[in-house]
Amino acid sequence: MQSSPAPAKSARPERSASGRSGSRRSAREGRWFTPYLYILPAFIVYGIFLLFPLGRAVHLSLFDWDGLTLATFVGADNYISILHDERLRAAFGHALVFVIFYAILPVCIGLMMAAILTRARVRGLSIFRTVIFLPQVIAMVVVAIAWRQIYAPNGSLNNLLRAVGLGDFARAWLGDYTFALPAVGLVGTWVSTGLVTVLLMAGMAKIPVEHFESARLDGAGPIREFFSIILPAVRAEITVALTLTIVASLKTFDLIYVTTAGGPGSSTTVPSYEVYRRAFELGQVGSAAAVGVTLTALIFVISLVVNKIGDRASS
pLDDT tier for residue 2 given thresholds of 50, 70 and 90: very low
pLDDT tier for residue 192 given thresholds of 50, 70 and 90: very high
Element (H, E) at 64: strand 63-64
Largest Cα–Cα distance of the chain, in whole Å? Answer: 121
Q: What is the pLDDT of residue 177?
A: 92
Residues 6 or more apart whose Cβ sits within 8 Å of residue 123: none
Q: What are 123-175's pLDDT values in tens digits? A: 777 788 788 888 888 999 999 999 999 999 999 999 999 999 988 889 999 99
Q: How far apart are the first and last CA of the chain?
A: 71
Between CA 245 and CA 252 the distance in angstroms is: 10
The answer to whether residue 79 is domain-embedded is: no
pLDDT tier for residue 48 given thresholds of 50, 70 and 90: very high
The answer to whether residue 62 is domain-embedded is: no
The answer to whether residue 65 is domain-embedded is: no
Give CA 35 to chain center in angstroms. 29
DSSP string, 275-302: HHIIIIIS--HHHHHHHHHHHHHHHHHH
Where residue 285 sits, what CATH number does that domain have?
1.10.3720.10
Give the residue from 66, 44, 68, 48 showing the smallest Cα distance to 56: 48
Continuous H helices in 49-155: 52-60, 77-84, 86-99, 105-120, 125-137, 140-150
Residues 6 or more apart whose Cβ sits within 8 Å of residue 225: 119, 212, 215, 216
> What is the residue range of 174's domain?
86-314
Count the helix, strand and coil residues of the chain and give each as a percent rounded to the nearest 5: 75, 0, 20
Q: What is the pLDDT of residue 263?
A: 85
The answer to whether residue 42 is domain-embedded is: no
DSSP string, 114-130: HHHHHHHT-TTHHHHHH
Q: What are 232-288's pLDDT values in tens digits? A: 999 999 999 999 999 999 989 999 999 999 889 899 999 999 999 999 999 999 999
Query: How many other CB atoms are found less than 10 A from the CB of residue 52?
Result: 11
The answer to whether residue 227 is domain-embedded is: yes
Residue 10: is its pLDDT beyond 60? no
The answer to whether residue 295 is domain-embedded is: yes
The answer to whether residue 102 is domain-embedded is: yes
The answer to whether residue 17 is domain-embedded is: no
Residue 3: is its pLDDT beyond 50? no
Encoded amino acid at 53, one letter: P
Mean pLDDT of the chain: 86
User: Burial level of 204, CB count in 10 A (0-12/13-18/19+)?
Assistant: buried
Domain count, the chain: 1
Q: What is the pLDDT of residue 308?
A: 86
Selected residue with higher pLDDT from 304 and 7: 304
